[in-house]
Amino acid sequence: MTGRPYVVDRMISAKQIAARIEALCREIETEFAETDKLVVVGLLRGSFVFIADLVRELDLDVEVDFLEASSYGDATESSREVRILKDLRGGIEGRDVLVVEDIIDTGFTMKHVLGLLKARKPKRLRSIALLDKPSRREVAVKADWTGFEIPDEFVVGYGIDYAQRNRNLPYIGKVRFTE
């Protein structure tokens, strides 16, 4: 762990995440009880671990697709302008769709993605975010299901990165700068 000007303090354990996913899946199963097949849309790249655990816990027929959106330009500040870098492979018109996001922060990404997908006329569009930082919100948006509400801390792990590092941590940790 040398060469990094920060350390990662554990915030949410792998066990806590697994327990929360179990509870959320029972609610999602109830919501989509009548579905023939649910399209689970993961927002790349941060949701890849979450979506993997989520679909394995869900007792429903699912299809998995991915969308990559970027709200950051070359600067460190969010540009507030969301670009679609990779679109879905499949159509969602008339389908049951669940959007899976890692974190809702300012809200720009989720709001844009939900608007875009809604315009494609799905039968039912729902969303889930593993983490939510409500104190950071700049545009009104809320996922139908949230794993954990967290304070305004920069977090990594369980798919979530800091400059492309730490995605492989099995837990959620908060970044503490040391210099």
- Residues 61-100: x where in contact with Mg ion by CB under 5 A, - otherwise, as a string: ----------------------------------------
C-alpha 43/C-alpha 175 separation (Å) is: 22
Task: Determine, following the binding rule CB under 5 A, whether residue 46 of this chain makes contact with Mg ion.
Answer: yes
- Known active-site residue 105: yes
Q: Residue type for 24, please? A: L
Strand pairing report for 96-104 and 38-44: parallel
**What is the residue whose two structure tokens read 């699912």?**
62
C-alpha to C-alpha distance for 109 and 141, rounded to whole angstroms:
10
Rule CB under 6 A: say whether 104 interacts with ligand IMP: yes
Q: Which residue is nearest to Mg ion (CB)?
A: 46
Task: Indicate whether 103 belongs to the interface with ligand IMP (CB under 6 A).
Answer: yes
The partner in contact with residue 107, picked from Mg ion, ligand IMP, none with C-beta cut-offs of 5 to 8 angstroms by kind, is ligand IMP
Quote the least distance from Cβ 29 to ligand IMP, whole Å. Answer: 25
User: Given candidates 32, 100, 109, 125, which one binds ligand IMP under the rule CB under 6 A?
Assistant: 109
Please state, in angstroms and as integers, the Cα–Cα distance from residue 83 to each residue in 6, 69, 113, 138, 147, following that order: 30, 6, 10, 18, 26
